[in-house]
Structure 1
Amino acid sequence: MSEEQTSASSTDSTIAARDEQVIADTIQWLEKAVIGLNLCPFAKGVHVKGQIHYVVSHATDARELADDLHRELEALAEISAEKRDTTLLMAPDCLADFLDFNDFLELADDMVEALDLGGILQVASFHPQFQFDGTDVDDVGNCTNRTPYPTLHLLREESIDKAVEAFPEAGEIFERNIEVLEALGKSGWDALDVGAHACPHARAPQSQQAKA
């Protein structure tokens, strides 16, 4: 094996190892926070069935992340829900600033429409620095949308409708999660050692959406 081939192989191994760590961190967040605290009553089913697809983006800017999002939206639309109900696209090297990430979401929504996937798929978002409008950065309630890495959650509208139908009180999840976290406290959250958490069905009232 040539020196160039050895170097390339070493680089590939390093990238693969990091990808595995990003996915492992995200699964730990899902199991310990989302499912462990029952922050999303619909998460356990798709997790146990292996219907969550984890993808690590190597993007370093919004354009590259948009390319990855485009690919994953098309892939999710083409595969059956039984094989892949939802996708988590983690971007550890991109949009570390929450406001930049938040601005990217408009592009994500426009992409869904451009691909004629409106009403079929939607994109939810979670970030290590997530902050609801009108809150202090250290408010524990912000952890409802905090993940170890900037993350785009690709969801099927049909799956959301079924979940809400099975759980008529879905509109109360957001308020309940805030209560759970406030009771847990920042020290309790930090003790979970997960970096963040979220539930795509637990949406904040419009007036409490993330800062623009």
Structure 2
Amino acid sequence: MSQSLAKPTAEEVLVATQKWLENAVIGLNLCPFAKAVYVKNQVRIVVSEAKHLDAFLEDLDRELLHLAEVDPQETDTTLLIHPTLLADFLTFNDVVAIAEEAVDEHGLEGKIQVANFHPDYQFDGTELEDLSNYTNRSPYPTLHLIRESSIEKAAEAFPDPAVIFDRNIALMEALGRSGCEAVLRGEKVDLPKGF
């Protein structure tokens, strides 16, 4: 994704992420569970301004502990974003692995999971430009901290998550490259027929 060379402000990152959530994740129903918590203001969005990886990992520790301790009615899920530190997707993947280890280190295995989104997200076994990758692309590198209890509730409504994944890939292919890029920019895109 082409972003300006100037480092975005925390407010710009927040606005871009909210637009992406509203117009893509919720608007295109990429995640059928997102709307309920978003409209109740239960999604915490944190923009890290850490200058180096150690400081970012401290932000991650704080957010894991916050999510573990706060009432789910106040915060159901957290998005931890850093606009520049994790721009390289391979470096980001390494940080995702560290984040998963941090969940275990805090004794939160079985309570919190880490999902991830990135502007250059690439599923294993795909080419960078494959449209399927857009299902996990976001305006900025994002760690999504999710309560296991929320995942369990979602699984009751959608016992086969592969249906969602397959539908999202088909949707990205139907939108085409220009539609996928618009989704990534957080623009409002109409659902193609059949979706």
Fold-level match, TM-score > 0.5? yes
Residue 93 of structure 1, CA deviation: 2.2
Residue 191 of structure 1, CA deviation: 3.2
Alignment of 1:132-211 (within 5 A): 132-192=123-183, 194=185
> Residues 123, 64 of structure 1: CA spacing in aligned structure 2 closer, same or farther, 3 A cutoff?
same
Identify the residue that residue 44 of structure 1 maps to in structure 2.
35
CA contact (8 A) 1:122 1:157 kept: yes
> In the aligned structure 1, how far is the partner of 2:63 from the partner of 2:183?
30
> In the aligned structure 2, how far is the partner of 1:110 from the partner of 1:98?
19
> Percent of aligned pairs with the same residue?
54
Secondary structure of 2:25's counterpart equals helix
- What is the letter of the counterpart of residue 135 of structure 1? T
Residue 193 of structure 1, CA deviation: 5.4
Secondary structure of 2:174's counterpart equals helix
**TM-score between the two structures when normalised by the length of structure 2:** 0.88
CA contact (8 A) 2:82 2:142 kept: yes
Identify the residue that residue 90 of structure 2 maps to in structure 1.
99
Report which of the two structures shows the higher radius of gyration computed on alpha carbons.
1
Identify the residue that residue 104 of structure 2 maps to in structure 1.
113
Secondary structure of 2:115's counterpart equals strand
CA contact (8 A) 1:55 1:89 kept: yes
Secondary structure of 1:154's counterpart equals strand
Higher percent of residues as helix: 1
CA contact (8 A) 2:78 2:145 kept: yes
Identify the residue that residue 208 of structure 1 maps to in structure 2.
none
- What is the letter of the counterpart of residue 71 of structure 1? R
CA contact (8 A) 1:33 1:194 kept: no
Question: Can you give the 5+ residue segments of structure 2 that lack an aligned partner in the other structure?
Answer: 1-6, 188-195
> Residues 76, 54 of structure 1: CA spacing in aligned structure 2 closer, same or farther, 3 A cutoff?
same
1:54 aligned to 39, 45, 57, which one? 45
CA contact (8 A) 2:89 2:121 kept: yes
**TM-score between the two structures when normalised by the length of structure 1:** 0.81
> In the aligned structure 2, how far is the partner of 1:144 from the partner of 1:165?
22
Residue 46 of structure 1, CA deviation: 0.5
Count the aligned residue pairs: 181
Secondary structure of 2:160's counterpart equals helix
Let me know the Cα RMSD of the aligned residues. 1.7
